[in-house]
Chain A
Amino acid sequence: MKTILNGTQVAITVDRLCHQLIENHLDFSQSVLIGLQPRGIYLSDRIYRTLQKLLPGVHINYGKLDITFYRDDFNTQLHVPNETTIDFSLENKKVILVDDVLYTGRTTRSALDAMLDFGRPSVVELLVLIDRRFTRQLPIQADYTGRTVDAIISEKVKVRWAERDGKDEVILE
């Protein structure tokens, strides 16, 4: 087991990602933040809270998207759905999808599919805490990355959050 990011590093990384978002989206008037259920929402909650602190008084559209019904592995694994809360239109918006780990790219593909049912965004970006290189099965890459990790298939990247697991950390097993 190897620690990739400890609690302090997670906090610094989230801060950095928020500043990068502000650099590109300024006042977020045309941008929306979408966390991917189930695990991406811990990161998107942090990002949302940090952005609110950094941009006091600015309204940011923030939603959560469940991709269960759009998965391409329905025939091999049955997933239990989570809640989708997107109470605004994505039509012509700049969408920032947020997930914890970018691995094969299949979750992101499903998310793109699911998202299109809420409207046609003008731009879609992807923000991830961990980008695993060399494991992609689809031509998908992140626009904002917390940390890039080179890991072989048999290794597992685990992201832990204080809200759920007691403390923030990213480990490689």
Chain B
Amino acid sequence: MSLSVNHLLGIRGLQRQDIELIFQTADEFKAVLQRPIKKVPSLRDTTIVNLFFENSTRTRISFELAEKRLGADVVNFSASGSSVSKGETLIDTVNNILSMKVDMVVMRHSASGAPHFLSRHIDVPIVNAGDGINEHPTQALLDAFSIREKLGSVAGKKVAICGDIMHSRVALSNIYCLRQLGAEVTVVGPPTLIPKHMEAALGVNVSYDIRETLAWCDVANVLRIQLERQNTPLFSSLREYSLAYGVNRQLLDSLQKEIVVMHPGPINRGVELSSDVADSGHSIILNQVENGVAIRMAVLYLLSGKKAGKVVE
């Protein structure tokens, strides 16, 4: 068994077996992370650069920890304070870094497709850590992994993805991942934040009623309202959004059923998710963060092994 891809650019290019292999590997890495010594030497001969052209807390720390726990050498790069501000192109920046003998690239970029473009010009494995409004594959993998951990499996489960679907790379990657694993997906949010033709294009249900959707689902993945990506206002105010689409204790209590609540972070507390839900027993938000390290270790381990070619059971 081995991954069918040489880069992790998105969930879109993955087979179901790929996702299952990543989960199977992540199970063992998760066990490693529970030990007193949380480190293995698998990637001790590998140098990885984290190229972050966009802000990040969780993903960046999570990748860095995953790399260090695999024994890899890590170089961090952030666009602010680099020669990008002097006008250096993406390809020049990356080629300069690679000429210092770097073996893998983890990249976040505000332009959708930036890692795909890069993958056509360099021959080291690339892991997409989020590109614009396109995909955030490791987030989707850790979300599905967390659902599998909490509910036993992903297949057949009903998952609601709530909020700003239009600007969310997490939503798109989650849809590909959950559909590939056999879950039923409904996206819910204000009509202005849900792209047209989603049913036909992605095989998901669309709803504009949060209460109805929460009553239907087993898992609610609540997304952040991404004000920084909205050029024109798409709803009248955060307060109004919160009243119509915010997930709060009162709403959950009125449904009289157990729902697993997820959020990819960072949370706008009191906007899409209220604090009494975010910090409640329903929420697996911190489990998601914990699983993120194991998932990223699995992805890096499996991709760096691709150059090995031959795979042994």
A residues whose Cβ falls under 8 Å from a Cβ of B? 66, 68-71, 74-84, 113-114, 117-119
CB-CB contacts below 8 Å: B212-257 with A: none
A81: chain B residues at CB < 8 Å are: 24-25, 28
CB distance from B21 to the nearest CB of A (A): 7
**Are A74 and B305 in touch, CB under 8 angstroms?**
yes
The 5 closest A-B pairs by CB, nearest first: A78-B305, A69-B40, A81-B28, A117-B37, A69-B42
CB distance from B73 to the nearest CB of A (A): 15
Bound complex: CA A74 to CA B313 (Å): 13
**Are A77 and B312 in touch, CB under 8 angstroms?**
yes
**Are A84 and B308 in touch, CB under 8 angstroms?**
no
B residues whose Cβ falls under 8 Å from a Cβ of A? 1-2, 21, 24-25, 27-28, 31-32, 35-37, 39-43, 45, 70, 301-302, 305-313
Q: Closest residue of chain A to B304, judged by CB?
A: A74
Bound complex: CA A117 to CA B69 (Å): 13
B35: chain A residues at CB < 8 Å are: 117-118
A71: chain B residues at CB < 8 Å are: 42
User: Which of A77, A82, A117, A119 interacts with B28 by CB under 8 Å?
Assistant: A82
Q: Closest residue of chain A to B40, judged by CB?
A: A69
Q: Closest residue of chain A to B21, judged by CB?
A: A80
A84: chain B residues at CB < 8 Å are: 28, 31-32
Q: A70-B40, A113-B41 are in contact. Are A80 and B25 (CB under 8 A)?
A: yes
Q: Closest residue of chain B to A119, judged by CB?
A: B36
**Are A76 and B41 in touch, CB under 8 angstroms?**
no
**Are B312 and A78 in touch, CB under 8 angstroms?**
yes
User: Which of B28, B37, B40, B70 interacts with A83 by CB under 8 Å?
Assistant: B28
Q: 24 interchain pairs (CB within 8 A)?
A: A68-B28, A69-B42, A69-B70, A70-B40, A74-B43, A74-B45, A75-B45, A75-B308, A76-B308, A77-B311, A78-B2, A78-B306, A79-B311, A79-B312, A80-B24, A80-B25, A80-B311, A80-B312, A83-B27, A83-B28, A84-B31, A117-B35, A117-B37, A117-B40
**Are B45 and A69 in touch, CB under 8 angstroms?**
no
Bound complex: CA A71 to CA B43 (Å): 10
CB distance from A89 to the nearest CB of B (A): 9
CB distance from A121 to the nearest CB of B (A): 14
**Are B310 and A76 in touch, CB under 8 angstroms?**
yes
B41: chain A residues at CB < 8 Å are: 69-70, 113
**Are B31 and A80 in touch, CB under 8 angstroms?**
no
Bound complex: CA A118 to CA B36 (Å): 7
A79: chain B residues at CB < 8 Å are: 311-313
B307: chain A residues at CB < 8 Å are: 75
A82: chain B residues at CB < 8 Å are: 28
Bound complex: CA A77 to CA B31 (Å): 22
Bound complex: CA A68 to CA B31 (Å): 13
Q: A75-B308, A77-B308 are in contact. Are A66 and B28 (CB under 8 A)?
A: yes
Bound complex: CA A118 to CA B25 (Å): 20
**Are B310 and A80 in touch, CB under 8 angstroms?**
no
**Are B310 and A77 in touch, CB under 8 angstroms?**
yes
Bound complex: CA A89 to CA B104 (Å): 36
